[in-house]
Amino acid sequence: MPWGYLASSALALLGVVLVLAAPALPRRLAGLSSWAGVLVGEAPAVVLLWLVASTLLLVAQGDAAERGAWLALGVAALAAAGLVRCLVLGVRAGAVLDRAVPASGEPARRVGAAGWLAAAVVPLPRRPRDVTRQRDLAYGPAPHQRVDLYRSRSVPASGAVLVQLHGGGFFSGHKSRESLPLIYDLAGLGWTCLSGDYRLSRTPAEGHPGHLVDVKQLIAWVRTQGETWGVAPATIVLVGTSAGAHLSAMAALTANQPAYQPGFEDADTSVDGFVGLAGYYGPVSGVDGDGTSPFDHLEGAGTPVLIVHGTHDVVASPDAAARLAGALAGTGRSDVALALLPGAHHTFDLLDSVRFRQVRRGVARFCAAVAESDAPGPLPRG
């Protein structure tokens, strides 16, 4: 029995099961699904190539003739079939985004075959040479109130600003982690992109409303002090991941509310749209109806909304994401779009994967529509 090959094939199959079946796991083991979502769900071609290479090595060494090798090969075949399925589901994200955000006037640059191949086999975010980064600009006096600024060297600034907020459950995370390929894309289209930190706390409840105050202070800084750094906002769109999606929604829906702007009550903290990626939208206190959830502010500012969520997310409920989109649309708004990504887990914006490349194209279309004051279509039904 080729035990090493069997173990590696079984490990690949375990990752496939965690991604495709998305079983409910005890809290201490929930991280397994998250890592499987990154390594297998977003990079299935990489795992498949590794599995093929190890199989060829098994055959070349003559170990395929060992007793019991058929069992190991069977496990590998099941894993390979699952990996192909993961890749197909990643490709299907494009159709989902096309329905949520119509492709007319699409601003994103076309991706050639080499680009898609790179996304499949080397899905690591790489900042283009044409995109510059200024690190750790201060938007407030606290050490955590820092933001990185991205823009193009060659494309003139359009006056459109993207503010990206990281995830991490309100207790961890950093501004240089998620959605970097999206930032690079929009910077290359003339957007000024900001990725900001905010205060973190041991529990979400302990940090509220401080983390939301930080986000509003960042928005106010963009509007009042941004010109110091060459930021002249005509349009501001918030994009957040996980906890950052919660903060993006809350900031957009509570714009200019003095209770969340202590010391800068008169500042303009309105935004022109927000995008939630794999968002948590429940109350940060754990108590429904206490004002700490976007569901408590549905009648807030009527900015266009795009909610993107994985159907297999075991960290933040896709049902809650769909309910929020439906609740916002139920207030009479027609500028709410929902995209549920088949097979996607919580970490789909961490890598430059096939799935996230298509998500980025949809988000870029949404941002272009917001900048042109042309909101996307109504919430998809069915």
Euclidean distance between CA atoms 235 and 218, whole angstroms: 15
Q: Indicate whether 171 and 57 sit together in one domain.
A: no
Q: CA-to-CA distance for 257 and 297, rounded, in angstroms?
A: 11
Q: How far is residue 89's CA from residue 377's CA, in Å, rounded to a whole number?
A: 24
Look at residues 97, 122, 149 and tell me which one is the last residue of a structural domain: 97
User: Residue 378 domain-assigned?
Assistant: no
268 occurs within a structural domain:
yes
Beta strand pairing call for 273-277 and 192-196: unpaired
Asked whether the predicted pLDDT for residue 176 surpasses 80, the reply is yes
Helix axes 44-60, 113-121, angle to 10 degrees: 70
pLDDT digits (tens, 9 = 90+) for 303-313: 899 999 999 99
Last residue of one domain, picked from the residues 97, 129, 149: 97
Q: Dihedrals φ, ψ of 48, to 5°?
A: -65, -45
- From 43, 66, 97, give the residue that closes a domain: 97
Share the mean pLDDT of the chain: 90
* Distance separating alpha carbons of residues 147 and 229, to the nearest angstrom: 12
Let me know if residue 62 belongs to a domain.
yes
31 with 178, same domain: the answer is: no
- Residue 381, pLDDT > 50, answer no
Same structural domain, 21 and 170: no
Q: What is the pLDDT of residues 220-258, one digit of tens each?
A: 999 998 888 888 889 999 999 999 999 999 999 999 999
Q: Both 211 and 130 in a single domain?
A: yes
In this predicted model, what pLDDT tens digit does every residue of 247-301 receive, in sequence order? 999 999 999 999 999 999 999 999 999 999 999 999 998 889 999 999 999 987 7
Name the residue range of residue 245's domain.
114-371
Domain-embedded: residue 68: yes
pLDDT at 379: 45
Report pLDDT digits (tens) over 14-51: 999 999 998 887 877 777 778 888 999 999 999 999 99
- At residue 261, the 3 state secondary structure works out as coil
Q: Tell me which residue of 370, 214, 351, 377 sits closest to 301, measured CA to CA.
A: 370
Looking at residue 382, what is its pLDDT? 33
Supply 178's token pair: 């998620």
pLDDT at 271: 96
Let me know whether 56 and 124 are in one domain: no
* Helix/strand/coil (H/E/C) assignment for every residue in 194-243: EEECCCCCCCHHHHCCHHHHHHHHHHHHHHHHHHHHCCCCCEEEEEEECH
Higher pLDDT, 72 or 67: 72
Same domain, yes or no: 121 and 253: yes
Q: What's the domain count of the chain?
A: 2
Q: What is the model's pTM?
A: 0.93
Q: What is the pLDDT of residues 91-112, one digit of tens each?
A: 999 999 999 998 655 455 555 6
3-state secondary structure of 124: coil
- pLDDT per residue as tens digits for the range 117-129: 888 888 999 999 9
Q: Is residue 108 part of a domain?
A: no
Q: Is residue 379, in this structure, part of any structural domain at all?
A: no
How far is the CA of 96 from the CAs of 19, 275, 344, 358, in angstroms?
19, 15, 12, 9
Residues 242 and 304 in one domain: yes
Token pair recorded at residue 235: 């349009």
Residues 29 and 169 in one domain: no
pLDDT tens digits, 188-209: 999 999 999 999 999 999 999 9
Are 297 and 209 found together in one domain?
yes
**CA–CA separation, 252 and 233 (whole Å):** 16
Give the CATH number, domain containing residue 290. Answer: 3.40.50.1820
At 110 the pLDDT is 57
pLDDT number for residue 70 = 85
Are both 225 and 359 inside the same structural domain? yes
Residue 138's H or E segment, with its range, is strand 131-138
On whether residue 102 sits in a domain, the answer given is no
Same domain, 357 and 255: yes
Instruction: Say which DSSP state 2 is in.
Output: -
Give pLDDT, residue 64: 74
Q: How far is CA 75 from CA 22, 55, 80, 182, 267, in A?
A: 19, 11, 9, 37, 60
Residues 122 and 89 in one domain: no
106 assigned to some structural domain: no
